[in-house]
Amino acid sequence: MVSGRSLQLKFILLILSACFASVSYAQIPVSTPTEDSLQKRVIISDIRLIGNKVTHKKIIHRELIFMKGDTMSLDLLTSMTTRSKENLMNTQLFNFVDINVVYDGVNSVEVLIIMTERWYIFPIPIFEVVDRNFNEWWKTRSIGRTVYGMQIKWDNFRGRNETVRISLRFGYTENISVYYNIPYLNREQTNGLTFYTGTSRNHEVAYSITGNKINYYKNPGSYIRHDFTGGVRFNHRGAIHHTTSVFTEFRSNKVTDTITTLNPEYFRHGKSSQQFLNIGFHYRRDYRDFVEYPLKGYYFDFEAVKQGVGFLKNEPDQVYLTSSYKKYFKFSRRWHFASGVKGKISGQRDVAFFNSRALGYNTDFVRGYEYYVINGQNFVLLKSNLKFSILQVKVFHASYIHS
């Protein structure tokens, strides 16, 4: 015989078990679905944002490739949440992003986006070598060929992914610059503007090339070159991975008569100053998984620039086209490969030394030839990398840092 108290106890335990079982089922993430459920179609009933204390909701929703009310298979939703997570990380607004999918009904799911925001306002110390690359600077190891200063940077200004930068540089180059980027102006979040301006001056100038090596002239007692730059760029981002820009830029450059004596073709025909307008078009297609250090995906861009439009005195007259394509492969968990090609073409031959740049500048250098430069109007450069991951990514939480 079973007592009444025993029956009541079993009944209560049965009810509790059923409740916990239903709660457990309601929180099954899409990351661990059964094989049969992958093709099951579900509707997104809600998208919840957690952790965006500063960032506006519309900035986050702009990077998602799904929306509330969409109907799709769980398999497709899983791949879309992965791509959306990469998009959010590429905004560089967050340290961490997790996207989880939970059932809130038989055929409906809720998407939870959990973010850890970065610090957005901070001063950044500046210390840079002025030579074209570190190998070139290492020949002299001169502190006099460095730039130091401070930059005040405010990312995610007003919570709208805007960026404000004010930079002060001293040392080899004295420079002050201001940069303000507004990624979205309209309600659809497709159009934006970028403004920038800056002025600099130097005691030393690269005035010519001999044997594919740069010749410098220095006068510690006076400034021998003054530059001013100001520009505005209109950006259109109709799709998440596609950006088109149209820009105009004003530049004014002046050097002392000593430079024009050493190289009359510095600005051409012995001129000591040059003012011109740049008008350009730029298109970018970016499908990289993480723009700061990509391991998968590809990148393509194209740019057309017209230097000088005939409005100003001593303007150059030059048109050039540049384009690059980079592809990233994942062979295994630790082995990756990347390859890219970049080219420039221009129809002009008689170009001032100041406006002629090809190989050896910025990232357009040939490995093993860092000490040399090649000026010109046309080039093609192919680069490849084989990468091995020595350390795997690990995340640690420092409890004493409240972020």
Q: What is the pLDDT, as a whole number, of residue 15?
A: 39
Q: Domains in the chain and their CATH numbers?
A: 15-117 (3.10.20.310), 120-170 (no CATH), 191-388 (2.40.160.50)
Average confidence (pLDDT) per 10 residues, the chain, 403 residues: 42 39 34 55 93 95 94 91 94 94 87 94 92 89 93 95 96 96 94 97 94 93 95 95 96 95 92 93 95 93 93 86 96 94 88 90 89 91 94 78 60
Q: What is the pLDDT, as a whole number, of residue 99?
A: 95
What is the phi/psi pair of residue 344, to 5°? -135, 140
Question: Which of 360, 371, 366, 362 has its CA nearest to residue 383?
Answer: 366
Phi-psi region of 110 (alpha: psi -120 to 50; beta: other; left: phi over 0): beta
Q: What is the pLDDT, as a whole number, of residue 29?
A: 40
Q: What is the pLDDT, as a whole number, of residue 27?
A: 34
Q: What is the pLDDT, as a whole number, of residue 208?
A: 94
Q: What is the pLDDT, as a whole number, of residue 347?
A: 77
Q: What is the pLDDT, as a whole number, of residue 179?
A: 98
pTM of the model: 0.81
Question: Which of 162, 168, 35 has its CA nearest to residue 92?
Answer: 162
Q: What is the pLDDT, as a whole number, of residue 348?
A: 78
